[in-house]
Structure 1
Amino acid sequence: MTAWPPAITIPRLGVGVGLRAEIEDLVIDHADQIDWLELITEDYLFNPHRRATLAALRQRFPLIPHGVELSIGSAEALDREYLSALAELVALVEAPWCSDHLCFTRAGGIALSALLPLPRTAEVVTAVADKVRQIQQVVGVPFLLENISAFIDLPGEMPDAEFLTRIVERADCGILLDLTNVYNNAVNHRFDPLTYLDAIPLERVVQVHLAGGTYAGDLLQDNHRTAVHTEVWDLLRHVLPRAPISGFMIERDGKLPDDFPEILADIARTREVLGTTGAGAESR
């Protein structure tokens, strides 16, 4: 393990939004209210039509690739073609970092269409950390792992917070802290979210995700279909004094573009929380 943060300068980007095709025109029209954009990596890797839009977007916003199909927790080796294309995309948009989920999405070459939790074992810690080191070497920028929302809590050798901590410290990478996922898991698996947050290395948090979800019976779903939960704002206030966060991002899916005004409201609310806690957006 080496010292964190990395020698590479990580700029403070401010408050952004996850880009979706349904709101792209609205995002451009409201560029004065949006600091940066998170791109779904797979929308651009092998899609020439989508890649053709990047030059115009890059003139207006910093762009950060965020993947959903790297499947870093699969037993198989990393997909070298995917990784090479990711490095090309990172260079194309001059991204200061990129990210994906701490999970697996493929098994035996079959796409599972879900972000699935990993067995929390020392063997998996080693395997995932080794892959993260490979990724960072290829892409040339810091790589962040995101904690996922999981409907099931697999038994393991260690608690989830320790699992994440051991991986990021062994890999010497950053964290994309999804505060909504922390809250969802706390509700669904009945634990204290503040205890979880206090157990992870907050000094490694480069970016946060903020979102809302809906209930299916007693189960809180991570579907990004509502405004950010009140409790998630409270979690943000809790981590801000100790986490040198470079990018705050609103995730929204569902009824787009109709819900775009709520996205703007959540962006404004984020800035309000930052203002009341004394957090800024200057470069670190």
Structure 2
Amino acid sequence: MKRTLTKEFLQSKTINLDNKVAIITGGTEGIGLAIAKIFLKCGISGVAIADNSKDKGVESIQKLECEFGDNRVLFFEGDMSQSKPFDRVFKETIKHFENVNIVVNNAGIMNDVKWETQINTNLSSAVIGTLLGMQYMSKTCFGQGGLIINVASIMGLIPSSGYPIHTLTQFGIVGFSRAIGNINHYDRTGVKITALCPGLTNTKLLKQASYHAINDKFHKEFKEESGGCLLQKTESVALATLNILHDSMPGSVWVVENNNKPYEIRFPEVADMRFKNKC
């Protein structure tokens, strides 16, 4: 039986993020904001939230500061699918907190109508954030090593005919994370890269998806494909990141769904697949 994520589960984990600093994209609401909260609860020294919504960012920072105190949270407005504003986030965060140890590439939209924007927001930002994270945290560049979590979705493993372009971006994040998370890169840089694929989660992204469907038929197909899945809380996804911090291997891919504890996906080796195809 899978263990449900609860407050007791969090309390049972030996989590200490003292002297750690995290950058989280898409962190003004939903999964990103939930991750910021759980990191702050676990004693992280600083969190930098990057998002393109200034109003939502100011509101979220005020709430976080009210709950967790001043001088632990920064907000950066900008398009993280572009290198320059994302690089500024790293530079300013290091200037303020003196280091960066964790990067959570969480920014994303679900809008196959505006597919070019979707590809940039979902995939380009994850690539840029990963490359910059490796650059600034790598032991070869006077960094201390670190962890990068690329947040995709269950559609990075199970394609959706209702949202084919969104599926493309999610498969891209998973494949990229597996490739650049290879142990060879980790041995060289000391930066561990993983992917997290949440199942259906109660976020604005999912609520807005119906309005952004190319047509009602595609949205109906998506609803049929996802039938039977529970709509989990954003806190469940945030708690899952704590497991990844401690339990994940470089290049691993994790799923969290139905408010359960996350589990790692085991991919078949190419050689095994070829052997089976010949038999």
- TM-score tier, shorter chain, comes to 0.3 to 0.5
**TM-score of the superposed pair, with normalisation by structure 2:** 0.36
With a CA cutoff of 8 Å and minimum separation of 6, indicate the structure with the bigger relative contact order.
1
Structure that is richer in helix per residue = 2
